[in-house]
Amino acid sequence: SYIDSKTIKKFRRTIFKASEDFYRGLLETLPKEGTFEITDIQNICELVIKEIETIQKKYTKPLFDRINIAVECARMLTQALAVDAPLMIQKIHETAKLEKTEILPVDALELYSALKEIRNIFNQVQPEKERFSFNLESTFGKYLIKFAKNISKNIDKAFVSALKLEKWKPLNGVFYSSSVLDIFKMANQSVEVFGNFDWDYDYTYAYSVTLVLKSFSDGIQQYCSYITDIVQRSLREGAEDTTQTQQTSDPTVINDKHTSRWNFRGLKDALGSSSDIQVPKAYKFEKLVCTMLNNVDTMISLLEKLESKVDSTKLSTIMNETPESSRYKNKRAQKDCLLY
């Protein structure tokens, strides 16, 4: 049957009012102003998303073939959060400043992920000309950078701890030791966390991930330097032992103060000597040194895989080609970058 436009508008207003009442009920669950936290806003976002999904599953067909109830509800709820969320976050920032407390980067970035999902829904249900009024990247960029710096500090500690606890004994079935697995397990977990935030590829993201990769690169360089010193010491000791043995047992060795200069007679004697002169044995690496060298080789391979996983080429392009005027969403983000 035919439904006139006035009736359709009435139904739309009714749906809007029901959505508004639901949203107001969520806001009433918040603690008093000045006491609610980042996690409280995240909880509201998640409840809104869950409600939209529930309505979408319940009302699969448009009302009167003209009104999509899930879309109508989503329009009201996402628009309300686009307006209210920045105001609530501003209150939290003001309270944190007064109480001299810190908002944890992880909490802030989890809220970013929830609000980004709200923005995605908004873009699907609103007319094309409508824009989500809350600039998420501008607000949360500083927390992404702080998060990256915290990870970098933990990476430095991880390398120091790995070298301190390392026994240089190969794991079962492989030729490298446990420190390689421990270090790159942390590396992969760090990269996965960045991926879970679902941050768009922009300068802030590229800078933050590069910061973490640089810490791993610096750590591996220190790790390799430490190993190199031990290997070189082992080689020197082995060479000294070989030289002493040769000087003691080989009568063909000329041992006087002129041996460092070119000696034609010595060359003739060497060429004309019998073939039973003992050739020095090939240097045999200790098991510890072999494990160290295998660790370095494995680390280089794993680092290459890690760089391909985060698309380091794309990150480098963003870092190099983004104009300086467009790099920072706000002055605070710029300050955080320059502190590194």
pLDDT of residue 170: 75
pLDDT for residue 43: 95
Spans of the chain below 70 pLDDT: 1-2, 33-34, 238-286, 325-340
Q: State in Å, rounded, how far the first CA of the chain is from the last one.
A: 68
- Residue 257: predicted pLDDT: 45
Q: What is the pLDDT of residue 107?
A: 93
* pLDDT the model gives residue 275: 52
Phi/psi for 63 (5° steps) reads: -70, 125
The confidence score (pLDDT) of residue 99 equals: 86
| SS3 call for 67 | strand
Token pair of 59 as six digits = 């009302």
* CA 98 – CA 52 distance, rounded (Å): 36
pTM of this structure: 0.75
Phi/psi of residue 67, each to 5°? -120, 115
pLDDT the model gives residue 17:
95
The neighbour count for residue 148, using CB atoms within 10 Å, is 25
Q: Are 284 and 169 in contact (CB under 8 A)?
A: no
Contact between 92 and 32 (Cβ < 8 Å): no
Specify the pLDDT at position 89: 93
The token pair at 270 is 């060497």
| 19-23-24-30 Cα dihedral, nearest 10 degrees | 170
d(CA 218, CA 222): 6
215 Cβ contact list (under 8 Å, min separation 6): 151, 152, 155, 156
User: Any residues with CB less than 8 A from the CB of 284 and at least 6 apart, and which?
Assistant: 238
CB 145 within 8 A of CB 153: no
* Cβ pair 150, 116 in contact under 8 A: no
| Residue 96 near residue 31, CB atoms below 8 Å | no
State residue 272's pLDDT score.
46
Task: Quickly count: other Cβ atoms within 10 Å of residue 231's Cβ.
Answer: 19
pLDDT tens, residue by residue, 230-280: 878 877 776 555 555 545 544 444 344 444 444 434 434 444 444 555 545
Evaluate the CA torsion angle 71, 74, 75, 76 in order and state its sign. Answer: positive
The residue type of 208 is S
User: Which is nearest to 291 in space by CA: 279, 280, 299?
Assistant: 299
Any idea of the CA torsion for 187, 192, 193, 198, to the nearest 10 degrees? 140
In order, the DSSP letters of 244-300 are HHHHHH-TT---STTTTS--HHHHHHHHHS-TTPPPPPPP---HHHHHHHHHHHHHH
